[in-house]
Amino acid sequence: MPFIPSSRLILLAAILMPVALFAAAQDSPMMPLASGCALIVVVALLDLAISRQQFGDLKVQPDPVTRMARGSVGELKMHLRRSPGGPLKLALGLPLPVEFLSDQDIQKVSLGGDGATHWTVSWSLTPRSRGVYACPDIYVEVPSKLGLFGLRRRFAANAEIRVYPNLRRERRQLANLFLNRGSIGVHAQRMVGQGREYEQLREYNYGDSMLDIHWKGSAKRGELVTKTYQVERTQEIYLVLDHSRLSGLRSTQADRNIDDDYAETILERYVTVASVLGMVAEREGDLFGLLAFGQKVSRFVRASSGKQHGQVIQDALFDLKTEPGSFDLDELFTFIRTRLRRRALLIFLTDLGDPVAAEDFKNHVRLVASRHLVLANSIRRKGVYPIYGSPENATSTSIPDELAGHYRWAGLNELQAELRAQGVELSILDDENLSVDVVNQYLNIKQRQLL
């Protein structure tokens, strides 16, 4: 069992040191001093011997799974258990990974002798990065019987900490979507279109379209009957999320004072959009699914609904990391064609600011645009505006920067026109309002019944 000298033992040694120096300077007999030192050694060894069972049957274990949000203060709970006994003072130490910030390196706890057998200690943590982390082992120190040593023991923590995206800002921006009103916002929305789902047959009325006449049913009944449709309520929505190398770029809204390793990246904005869109689709009664791709398709969650499905989506998102290579669209679109048979709304989140990536995407998206409704979204890079049309708060106003931004803007406009000819809508969005804009796209599609 590891042990360290306490301040009491160090104080005794400090008292003997000047006495020993004084005795050596005065040529005094050393026998009394040696006897005192020997006595201290004997007492120290005796203290260690009688303190071997100081921990008793103490057990320390955190919660098996602790969930937190990136950038928000969370609590890691430690559960301490021991048999009823006398009071025991101990210190808890938790060597946290660098991804976590905490003002508490050590906590001192007193386990009272009131007959209790269970205590809970909370550790305040602020995670700086999303992902799954193994909870570090807990170190406990208790004083020896005579207080000359601190006895230490390590308790293995078979637990994990899961850090999810922080949705606080998006919840404020989309507050009206999460109010319990049973509908979106405070205004009633008119559902246009006749729908696509067959409901029943009825007698033919003057003015009905010839396309809606059910000819086989009419032949059986001897009179014209018309097919009626109902408005589609349940549709499949898939968010196709790119976590290749370009997703690791720093977000334009990221705090410049934060270290690059923990600054908000474009991927963080994508993950936040996926979480928010999943909740909105659940409120609207649609089926939400997720497809993440980098160098290959890495995550696929088939569209579904329900609380358990929402947790499946979160578990697929919280440890998603940027991959170093570029994306492979051949595998991606082949996967979509073979796995998604039913017509669905595909919302892509990818960076098309790179000309090579944009050309590759344009050549491949036609494989699925004929079967599915495709929306492509790309975050606007810094300075990508028409010449002399950048925002007033832009930091750079030099002519070369203006020309470079205009050139990129013109290329994206050309790409928008080419994709629109294939039935794909491309939107260049600001990352500050990315979640709001994507949700509005989805609600607009649903209201207009384009799917």
289 plus 183 within the same structural domain: yes
* pLDDT tens sequence across 388-445: 666 654 555 677 777 777 778 888 889 889 999 999 999 988 888 888 899 999 998 8
CATH number, position 269: 3.40.50.410
Q: Do residues 149 and 54 make contact, with C-beta atoms less than 8 angstroms apart?
A: no
In the structure encoding, which two tokens stand for residue 325, read together? Answer: 């290579």
Percentage with pLDDT > 70 across the chain: 84
Q: Identify whether residues 247 and 217 lie together within a single domain.
A: no
Q: Does position 160 have pLDDT exceeding 50, yes or no?
A: yes
| 1 located within any domain | no
Specify whether 411 is located in the same domain as 424. Answer: yes
234 has pLDDT over 80:
no
- Domain membership of residue 195 (yes or no) is no
Spatial contact of 115 and 56, defined as CB atoms under 8 Å apart? no
Distances from the Cα of 20 to the Cα of 41, 249, 403, angstroms: 16, 66, 82
Tally of domains within the chain: 4
The verdict on residue 193 lying in a domain is: no
Residues 351 and 367 in one domain: yes
Whether 116 and 183 map to the same domain: the answer is: no
208 and 100 in a common domain: no
56: left (phi over 0), alpha (psi -120 to 50) or beta: left
377 domain-assigned: yes
Q: Both 236 and 318 in a single domain?
A: yes
Domain check: are 152 and 260 in the same one? no
Residues 242 and 225 in one domain: no
Residues 392 and 327 placed together within one structural domain of the fold = yes
Q: Model confidence at 291, in pLDDT bands (50, 70, 90)? A: very high
Average model confidence (pLDDT) for the chain?
Answer: 82
Please indicate, yes or no, whether residues 258 and 347 belong to a single structural domain of this protein.
Answer: yes
Residue 255 within any structural domain of the chain: yes
* pTM of the entire predicted model: 0.73
pLDDT exceeds cutoff 90 at 375: yes
Residue 192 falls inside a structural domain: no
Structural domain for 16, as ranges: 6-50
Residues 31-42: what's their mean pLDDT? 72
Residue 280: inside a domain? yes
Whole-number pLDDT of residue 313:
92
pLDDT tens for residues 93-151?
A: 999 888 899 888 888 888 876 777 888 999 999 998 888 899 999 999 988 888 888 88
| Both structure tokens of 409 | 């803007």
| The pLDDT of residue 198 | 56
- Rounded distance, CA 117 to CA 111, Å? 9
- 21, 103: one domain: no
- Residue 39 placed within a domain: yes
CATH number at residue 151: 2.60.40.10
